[in-house]
Amino acid sequence: MKRILFLLLVFTFSSCVTDKENIVELKFNRFEKALFSVTPENIEIQLKILENDFGTFNEVFETQIMKKGEMTKGEYSKELLTFVNHPEMREAYDSLMLLFSDISEIEKELNTAFTFFHNEFPSYPTPEVTTFFGGFNYGVVTYDNNIAIGLEHFLGQNSKFYKLLSNPQYLRFQQQEKFITANVIEVWLNEYFQQYMTSRDLLSQIIYKGKVMYCIDKMLPKISFTDKFRFTQEQMDWVIDNEANIWSYFIENELLYSSHEQEFRTFLQYAPFAKGMPDDAPARVAYFIGYKMVSEFMDNNKMNIEQLMYLTNSRQFLKRSKYKPTK
């Protein structure tokens, strides 16, 4: 698959977003609109439009979502028509368009985020963003230095489709429009910087998640602190109030240098709760601890954000951060 770096409108003013230097405006593509415009009468033309206008992403859609494989052109056309005319898929698409007919706010947030990213990480690519409907198969994905957002994954926690899919409540909560941009940034940063997390022990993962959250906090200045972490307000309040207790739990249970992920998986991944902690403790508490540790590290060390992302020695990082939360 060819790797394509799309041209961006780049305006030169000053080095930070507020001073309007090196502002970027991403190109946004609405693949789902073109896809669901396919009919038996226009399918030959629409297939060419999908190929010409959406390039590499159309290849991703064909191979990963439609599983085109060795299908003939006629067979693929038939499968595509079946997909877009399936009653439940069509209903889900209609629901998506009611919510996302206008994505200008998402565009503004991501333009702000990638203006910051461009200035802090000038050697890295700046993506095009393609929205799509993929039959509930994929959320946010990267491909060839670009981003694709499966909008049907963000229809709101009360969407009937998530109930039909038997998604648990803690996952439905994550499927809200307000969490799209934080999801996008986390996936994008993982694409380029997860490789610098050279160990799988809990401390290394805490620090890496903290780096990601530190970047998200800087890249999305207008998003609430709670929404950046994708917590409820009650969960956010709990982790703030119990920061020292969480840290003590890690230490007292000898988890910091453990690489047995089954012991701490819920501290890093979506789950109903943080296993072993009080009932009010949300999953992914390590994101907050990592954010606080990284914030203190940056306060105590002269370093830019790009240099921060390349650090790999977790024990040295902890020492240099001087992180010691108190009750």
Query: Does residue 109 contact residue 150 with C-beta atoms inside 8 Å?
Result: no
What pLDDT is recorded for position 263?
95
pTM, entire model: 0.91
Give the total residue count for the chain: 327
The maximal CA–CA distance of the chain, rounded, in angstroms, is 68
Residue-wise pLDDT for 79-136, tens only, equals: 999 999 999 999 999 999 999 999 999 999 999 999 999 999 999 999 999 999 999 9
Q: Is the pLDDT of residue 48 over 70?
A: yes
Q: Is the pLDDT of residue 197 over 50?
A: yes
- Quick count: other Cβ atoms within 10 Å of Cβ 236? 19
Q: Is the pLDDT of residue 8 over 60?
A: no
What pLDDT is recorded for position 10?
30
> What's the rounded mean pLDDT across residues 278-285?
96
Alpha-carbon distance of 125 to 144, in angstroms, equals 10
Alpha-carbon distance of 209 to 203, in angstroms, equals 10
Residue identified by tokens 């998506």 is 96
Q: Domain residue spans in the chain?
A: 9-190, 197-321
HEC string for the chain = CCCCCCCCEEECCCCCHHHCCCEEECCEEEHHHHHCCCCCCCHHHHHHHHHHHHHHHHHHHHHHHCCCCCCCHHHHHHHHHHHHHCHHHHHHHHHHHHHHCCCHHHHHHHHHHHHHHHHHCCCCCCCCEEEECCCCCCCEEEECCEEEEEHHHCCCCCCHHHHHCCCCHHHHHHCCHHHHHHHHHHHHHHHHHHHHCCCCCHHHHHHHHHHHHHHHHHHCCCCCHHHHHCCCHHHHHHHHHCHHHHHHHHHHCCCCCCCCHHHCHHHCCCCCCCCCCCCCCCCCHHHHHHHHHHHHHHHHCCCCHHHHHHCCCHHHHHHHHCCCCCC
Query: Does residue 176 contact residue 154 with C-beta atoms inside 8 Å?
Result: yes
What pLDDT is recorded for position 326?
85
Query: Does residue 59 contact residue 67 with C-beta atoms inside 8 Å?
Result: no
What pLDDT is recorded for position 173?
98
* Mean confidence (pLDDT) of the chain: 93
Instruction: List, in order, residues 6 or more apart from 251 with CB less than 8 Å away.
Output: none
Q: How far is CA 22 from the centre of its chain?
A: 24
Please give the residue that has the higher pLDDT: either 226 or 5: 226
CB-count exposure of residue 32 (10 Å: 0-12, 13-18, 19+): buried
